[in-house]
Chain A
């Protein structure tokens, strides 16, 4: 390495170390958000330049001369050699979801330090590595999915377990994201009108694309975006008019509306609603993330949240649970997401032109996703801690009314008054901001603050707030309808083995039955969350985090098995270390969620507490819900244990030489683009 480069990289390392030290050691005074940005960017740069290069060269031995499936199986549809920057953009658009926005906002209750460190470290050594290796292994197996790789490399049981895990995670995920929307839109005529309008706008885009300007998706997306912005202004007018009552919904009403929407979206033709909404959501998502990054760089906000709060002891009002393991479970997608392994073994491997590009696409895109998590953390921590807690805490945690809530929160040492909250609500065009659990409203508030500080001031804060709510809700509704369809498809596929007609994806009775089953499954958990006096997120988000991280554990089991079979067991730690960490975290979190004696954390303890308490309406239902949540946690842990044990047996037998290692890689075919590789 030339001296100049060495100096540059030493400077990057020094800047990163200084920023991390400032984040970690500065106490009792607010710090600039730029320290977080510098720490993250320098860590990502070092991780990409050195660690990912090491993994690429030593562990995976990326081979530029090996033809990828995009070359060998090129068909102009799924398998297409594509420019690496284009694949990068495509992959990032697919992996970016609401998770990295919501998780860090919730984890901010511990202070900015634990979440920020985990987002950076978890991504560099865990999430990015997982996405990278799974993408490469899928490329070497003709673009096979994670489930297929688990079946081929570990065993049939592992394949079945992976299938059940994915289906379970989808159900929990859809319930949680739906709950976030409900909590963001309840009693908010402005938000409800804006989000409601996105449905006819998406339908209009569908018709425009199909009949008026076929294939002009970017054009239609710009048009859709302008209409959505008009809907935001329309929402402001509605909220101040006599029609506001027609768009003011209670949580339960919104839950029913979303369940009906989920069913309709799953059964309607894809081109009419799902595809245009997907395009619109992606358009808004990419634009808003870019604007948020720009806003943070321009405003350089100060973090009001302390580095660590008193809630690291597990007494947090946003969600109950100790720093370990719950901070790691809560952040989920910002650091490592099992869901990404589905994307990395889905569309992306079929577009990779040369093996070395998997490093930039897999590792690099996850770094960007992680940076989105850092931005969400900054947005949440720019709020005064008292405001943050008043917005994010459930009524059951801080008191049933605003006066009790501000008293409780102020007593914790985070002063906030009812007048401050009322003024804040007025600034963003809402009646109240109390008890809006789920992370989305707090994120929108932080984002609105950053945006309004850089453009327009308090006068336009309401517009920015509702823009942020619209952006998140659009995101989430897209996850909801796409997820319901994917789950329906998986269910149809499975039922097809029992009765063939059910497996036909175009047979309408099968569509209706499987859609209804999937919507009923996530709708049940949504309903349970909406009726939960603790806010729902307290119990559902940790379960979602556990599901997601368990799926990541499955992906890392597959990756580790393949590395061992490749004869590179000496580098097993590259995937085994994050796997061990994930297994420790998820199993510990599951144990706490099921057996912890604190009723705010342990589901069974909560059920016992309810049973011993006074008879209230719906008591038996609530006890059953707790027991069901505990059973779901337990089931997932058992399933993943099966995969971990089966994988470990494989590693031991291969490493000890009792079994000959045989990977299911496609045979080596030299690339016809040799001159490009050289």
Chain B
């Protein structure tokens, strides 16, 4: 080795730096492996490595055979893991074996036959010498001097200014990534008179369709020809529950937002916008599976547990002359998670 070492610098530390009080006995004596001393053992190890590589090749051939030979409609059942496509399983297991056996062979080769004498190499200190450091500083200064950076301040300033300004262009170019929010987060398709249709199914709901204890997932009925997008669903989804009217305990100003115990809430969690899809019929609780915020239907979806800070917005409903459930008005507050511009 050409490495030369210089003593690492010990600075700024007063502790006892001596390590062991004992003298370093050096590396323990080398223990020879059987393959190092007995040619027959070495021969055997060589055979083992070759067998591992050979099995890998065989497995790759099996991979090719499975790729061509197994029909992808064949399914097999493996205990614990269930039913699976036979071809994918065969491809996976044969490929896994091909790869694993190459690795096992290489490692076995290294461990049994390659030299296992530990080698000592010196480390050298990472810090450059003082001369080298000074040299860098000198070259740098010379360069700066030659370019006249110090003297020609006009160039320096205009350069900094122009580079600074040009870095703003990407920010400008990214402007058209999306529209400004405006009032989009605060509006939904719910409006006075909109009928409630089931989702999925699209059946227009009548009050009589809902028994006490039942629950329906609904959307507003849209004019013919208009298409419902996911962006509509994310704001319009509503969950309707029917309770016995005497079970409800709503604030005074919302008493007439329900129809004979049928009460509707935004299904979009006021915490992070997941669908509040779990209704516990016995306790009249709505639960969001994402973060377990729990809302009490009886009291107008007040938060009784979990990280949500606000009740689910309630949709005022009533029935029209034909007995269909309709919205009395749109939502009175934005639905979904909070945002900076939200005022309540």
* A and B together in one complex: no
